[in-house]
Amino acid sequence: MRGRPGLVGALMAAATVLAGCTGTTEPRPPTLLVIGAAPGGQPQLLLVEDVSATAPRGEPRLEVVPGGARALLAPAVALDFEDRAGERDAAWVLVRSSGGSGVTASLQRFEVDEIDPDEPSAFGEDVAARVSLTEPGGTGVLDGLSPTSPTTCPVALQVDGDGETAVVLDDPSACGSGDHVELWLVPLAGGAPTALEATNPVAALPPYLDQATGDGVVYFLVDGIGSTHVYRHALGTDGSDRLVDVNVPEPASRLVSAAGSGARLVVLSDEDLLTVDLEEGGDATRADTRPNARGLVVDTTGIAPEVLVLTGADVAFHSTPEDASPDVAPRAAAAATIDPVTRFGYAVGQGTVTIIDLLTGGDSDSVFRPHVEPLAEMELPTGANGTLSVIGWVRAVTPEEP
């Protein structure tokens, strides 16, 4: 097994303890959610507190933190964290808007460590860290770099553990263009971006940056003949190489999304989960999921095995990537996240957040009952493919003992 940061060991121990509990009645670490929304039409990153552990029965389990809204330059389309499996010091948000004048997209960095919900001043934007990716006037760091793709449309984001490098997927088709897909390494402290595999047909699927190995390793997908190839690039080195012993037996045109969790890469087609082991190699395992799948969510720390699949009408909960009989929460969701310690999933939709107890359903003896929490502030902006949002968890400051 690969080495992991020391805090992952603590997370895994806590997850093991909680796995023997009900998931809803045991003490749990104080959890905050950071969610992209647009209340009143203004793009924002909102803080939402999970108060399940203290809320009286029948009372709301989620509360929007007063004074916890932070402005975004445009609607949020992707989110990632520095040190995902540790302190999660900062969140990076990819924001994008498009109109008659063209596409505008930026990266914004927010401090998210040790936030007190009663006084959320620790939650703030590092304005100096902003990165303009593309502007209608051509002044973004990605503008003019690709001779085959004059239209730049950033759609997916990963960052390394130290917040030094971002991996940005540029898919012009998401902004109405037929230009070439590119995958960029963007230095976050300044410097020229570089393209990964500029001569190969990079698939329009999210990359995975494994933060736990050295400076970080980027895995991404390249279209092949009748199948899709997995490529690897170690940050700080030159070039990329194909993992010849890993097989994704579907052409990229039939694939919808991809996400990494530890040593696994999970790839979503419109009705299947395909999972490959990035260390051991071999053919992908296959499991049925809901038809018309649109989105894929895994535990980005690599601890929890559960997978969430989003469709236009519901959220499918797979207890593992090989689980071919998922439980279903009948709520549409634009984005979701999995907390491996509390063993809860959270799915954000228009006007709601759905809490999914990962210790119920599946092979357990408990009845699967997703809880839907109405939140008026969850006004989500609309993009070309439906509502837009991002969501991730962080730990609130631990209250002092009375």
In this predicted model, what pLDDT tens digit does every residue of 183-233 receive, in sequence order?
999 999 999 999 998 788 999 999 999 999 889 999 999 999 889 999 999
Give the containing element (helix H, strand E) for 81. strand 76-81
Residue 115 gets which letter from DSSP? B
Confidence of residue 28 (pLDDT cuts 50, 70, 90): low
Q: What is the DSSP secondary-structure string of 223-269? A: E-SSSEEEEEEETTSS--EE-TTEEB-S-GGGEEEEEEETTEEEEEE
Number of domains in the chain: 1
How many angstroms separate the first and last alpha carbons of the chain? 41
The pLDDT value recorded for residue 27 is 58
Nearby residues of 172 by Cβ (< 8 Å), 6 or more positions away: 149, 151, 152, 153, 178, 179, 180, 181
d(CA 276, CA 295): 18
d(CA 211, CA 263): 11
In a domain, 401, yes or no: no
Strand-pair category, 102-111 with 90-99:
antiparallel
In this predicted model, what pLDDT tens digit does every residue of 273-318 receive, in sequence order?
999 999 999 889 999 999 999 999 999 999 999 999 999 899 999 9
Mean pLDDT of 151-169: 97
Confidence of residue 336 (pLDDT cuts 50, 70, 90): very high
> In 3-state terms, what secondary structure has residue 102?
strand
In a domain, 186, yes or no: yes
In a domain, 377, yes or no: yes
d(CA 328, CA 8): 29
The pLDDT value recorded for residue 8 is 47
d(CA 329, CA 187): 39
In a domain, 1, yes or no: no
In a domain, 402, yes or no: no
* pLDDT of 121 strictly over 60: yes
- Phi, psi for residue 301 in degrees, rounded to 5: -85, -15
| Interior/surface letters 23-53, b for 16+ CB within 10 angstroms, e for the rest | bbeeebbbbbbbbbbbbeeebbbbbbbbebe
Q: Are 374 and 352 in contact (CB under 8 A)?
A: yes
* pLDDT of 1 strictly over 70: no
d(CA 314, CA 316): 7
Confidence of residue 402 (pLDDT cuts 50, 70, 90): low
In this predicted model, what pLDDT tens digit does every residue of 344-390 receive, in sequence order?
999 999 999 999 999 987 767 778 989 999 999 999 998 877 899 99
Q: Which residue has the tokens 């003019």?
A: 144
Q: Which residue has the tokens 């190995």?
A: 213
Domain range spanning residue 43? 6-395
d(CA 274, CA 307): 12
Strand-pair category, 246-247 with 282-283:
parallel
* pLDDT of 332 strictly over 70: yes
* pLDDT of 401 strictly over 70: no
Task: Identify which of 78, 72, 73, 113 has the alpha carbon closest to the alpha carbon of residue 92.
Answer: 78
Q: Which residue has the tokens 């997370």?
A: 11
* pLDDT of 90 strictly over 80: yes
CATH of the domain at 231: 2.130.10.10
d(CA 183, CA 137): 22
* Residue type (1 letter), 203: A
Task: Identify which of 384, 385, 386, 387 has the alpha carbon closest to the alpha carbon of residue 99.
Answer: 384
Most confident among 148-152, 174-178, 256-260 (mean pLDDT): 256-260
